[in-house]
Amino acid sequence: MFKLKKFFLIVVFYLLFLPITGKAQNNQVDLYFFEGQGCPYCAKMKSYLEGLKVDYPNLKVYEFEVYFNKENQVLFEKMARAYGAETSGVPTIFVDDEVINGADFEKVKNAIERCSKETCISPIDKIKNLETDSNVNISVDGYSPATNKTAEIVGWIVIGVVVLVGVCLTIYFLKKKGDARL
């Protein structure tokens, strides 16, 4: 009977931590895509990104039309300054530390693949210093750098509590059964 409980605890811990270990290979990838209405290269890139969303469900694409939207133009300029790039044309993609100009499909896919396997920064985090300097609150689809950090801290606290409770329960059950191996 004791071996069955021990086996059950091992299975429960494995199931609890399986999603944590699997996430390391499936990081969210934030990609900022600046395009212009009527731009044929932008249309091709937009279509290509839609296909990549199917292959990479962890890909989050933020699209900004800059020809006719002044707010998007301002964001484009701020992001380009943060990356040390020029706003010479569209399509332009920002992902992690990379700026991809034009319709370079292979470069886009390589960046997404790399960021799916390792932790990459969100482009919105790159303009955090500009936000502080200019007192402009930059938030895209409810995401802001401060909100993301808070969620990350809460996630680590929850993981710590789960681990602590699991260890305590394991010790309790092993001591209760008089296991001398502790």
Q: Report how far apart the first and last C-alpha atoms of the chain are (Å, whole number).
A: 19
Dmax over CA atoms of the chain, in Å, equals 74
Rounded to two decimals, the pTM is: 0.62
35-57 exposure pattern, b = at least 16 Cβ within 10 A, e = fewer:
bbeebeebeebeeebeebeeebe
Q: For residue 79, which phi and psi values (nearest 5 degrees)?
A: -65, -40
* Span 63-112, pLDDT tens digits: 999 999 999 999 999 999 999 998 889 999 999 999 999 999 999 999 99
117 CA to centre of own chain: 11
- Output the pLDDT for position 102: 93
Amino acid letter, 124: I
Going by C-alpha positions, the residue among 32, 26, 30, 58 that lies closest to residue 45 is 32
3-state secondary structure of 95: strand
Going by C-alpha positions, the residue among 78, 89, 95 that lies closest to residue 28 is 95
- Spans of the chain, pLDDT less than 50: 11, 20-24, 135-138, 141-148, 182
Q: Is the dihedral of CA 57, 59, 62, 66 positive or negative?
A: negative
Going by C-alpha positions, the residue among 120, 102, 103, 123 that lies closest to residue 111 is 120
- Locate tokens 């499936």: which residue? 26
